[in-house]
Structure 1
Amino acid sequence: MKPSQIVSALATLMDIRQPAFLWGAPGVGKSQVVAQAAASRGLELIDVRAVLLDPVDLRGLPRIDAQGAAVWCPPAFLPRAGRGVLFLDELNSAPPLVQAACYQLILDRKLGEYALPEGWTVLAAGNRESDRAITHRMPSALANRLVHLDFEPDLDDWLSWAEGAGVDSRLRAFLRFRPKLLHAHDPLSGEKAFPSPRSWEFVSRILDARPGREALGALLRGAVGEAAALECLGYLDICDSLPETDAVLANPGGVRIPEEPAAIYALCESVARKASDGAMPSLAVLAGRLPVEFGVLLMRDAAATEPSIVETEAFKGWACANSDVLVV
């Protein structure tokens, strides 16, 4: 399931307080999706990294009450009231004894003398065994009490999130051009760094820091691996070689159209960010000079930037001229 479908599914499960387990490769954004699903329902989120716990951490510490009996004091991170999601991240990476300590909490909503408040749902997540991450096989008794959801990264979902999160626009254009690099993890390769939604966010933050060229190359290789870093650096060089966006809009009929597809992608992305009703005549001229698929890409991105352009005469004229390739 892609992230947007996961959010919808988790919202349903939270409404009925059904425990679930989210399976996915490292770095695809499982934790962020759970947080998004909780926020969509206005629920508090408590994120507990199960792999960092000892078996006694969930039970708490004993004390002696007034009658001389031992009473367990549950840990402060377990909720006492309200409504929310208790998220046990990396649950199947935790040692078997820690997983066993979670059984009663997941299955019976209790842990010794502690009871999970009525308004709370338990969700969990972890890596797949096939990803060769550190995992322990989930006991069948626990697995049978959970709804299991498989997480698969999706470019359109990631691009939508990345735009709102302020991810560098050049990276968004690069991954649109090379969608297979959004997540490319080969468990057998042994490479420490690999492309993933999480590591591309790292790259965006690195670009924001504006390191020198030599340092940038080393940092990108350390974030997404050698091959992806080389492709990304080449794309960034193309972006830097393009004419200024204002100059393109000032002379859309005379600007040189690049021959390389990657350069055309970069040109479309940079110009689309300047979309406005006033710029629409220039955009229409430029789109008409591009290969038809890139013209459609430019107009689609421009309309996403400024939806009002679809009401302009220039846009309507371009749409009429390209009606045979537009999908209603």
Structure 2
Amino acid sequence: MLEFSSRTAHAGDLEVAADLIAMLGDTTTEPRADPQLEALTLAVAADLPVLLWGEPGIGKTAALQQLADALDLPLTTVIASVHEPSDFSGLPVVGDDPATQGVPMAPPDWAVRLAAAGRGLLFLDELSTAPPAVQAALLRLVLERRVGALRLPPGVRIVAAANPRSSAADGWELSAPLANRFVHLWWAHDHDVVVRGLGGTWPRATLPRLDPELLPQAVTFARRAVCGLLAARPTLVHRLPSEETRRGGPWPSPRSWEMALRLTAFATAANTSREVLSTLVRGTVGDGPGLELLAWTDRMDLPDPETLLADPAAAFLPERGDLRQAVLDGVVEAVRRRPERARWEAAWALLVRALETGAPDLVVVPASTLAALRHADWEVPASIERLAGVVSLGGQADRAAARITAVAGRGR
């Protein structure tokens, strides 16, 4: 009897402990600006595989659970490193007549459940601890959504997580083919988010609101941006990193540029911040190409240099310094390609206008370059005197003319 009473007391204690655990897990969410969470939800909405990189314990798994709850998607977690390659490529099942029917590759149970549900969030955890053979088996799953003979339905999204090799248990470098199939996002903790979350309130993950009226414009903008950049910089189309460690991250290829184009269109239709777009494109094609794409999008709406040269008095110059510098450099380059006295003088008029309406230091480089373009028989326009306080253009123009005359004399 005493033994029974003791067991009853212990069972009661566990029930009280369970109540306390439940109370600690009772949290709520609130709308809160979180750029990394917004980038994740945008990539999920665009139906692109996402790979979250972060140190152990940073909250990657918790973020995925919260995302699945917020989007009302069943979460299926698969620890890649504890599975065999056949768990992703399918297990051969011999039928009645394999000579005529073949040997089908049966999918694992988790894939069957996802297919039956028709929707869900597949979370491939600990990806960086998966050996090369398992990574190779994951290629078709990540790109084609196929597991053996089964194709996952369109309602299934794929998100993976990995620790850097330095902090992963028996970690491997991610293979270049697998890495190039993901949008790479670096997950870091935000002090305020963690403190408020431990207090019971976490930021809410929501899918981006796409404006239906902006969809055609978003597609046109994204295509112009990516195609325009690659036409001007053909070496960016495919650039496999030479270092093995960098091959496991984002790098530019036709596949990753296609993903960058889709993300640019989604970000435009959702009117997301530049910070979020920067995170996404750099996580797709790498930091350098991604930043070049962002700079190219800024320049897409800049005025045409030929229009500015045709009517300098009516020219509109951007307020932002980097954009204004790009406009002035474009004008000087247009004069260099087709040097004519009227165009040269119009460019000086634009530089004077830039000096009167913006920072003087932005005029120095284009003015020096423009001065060097002067032909020997071109008189220095009076407008240059207004720039004399910024750069000594008169002397530079004379020296440029002297060099041109000397070169022409040696040519004769």
TM-score range, shorter chain: 0.3 to 0.5
Question: Which protein is bigger by CA-based radius of gyration?
Answer: 2
Query: If the length of structure 1 is used for normalisation, what is the TM-score?
Result: 0.47
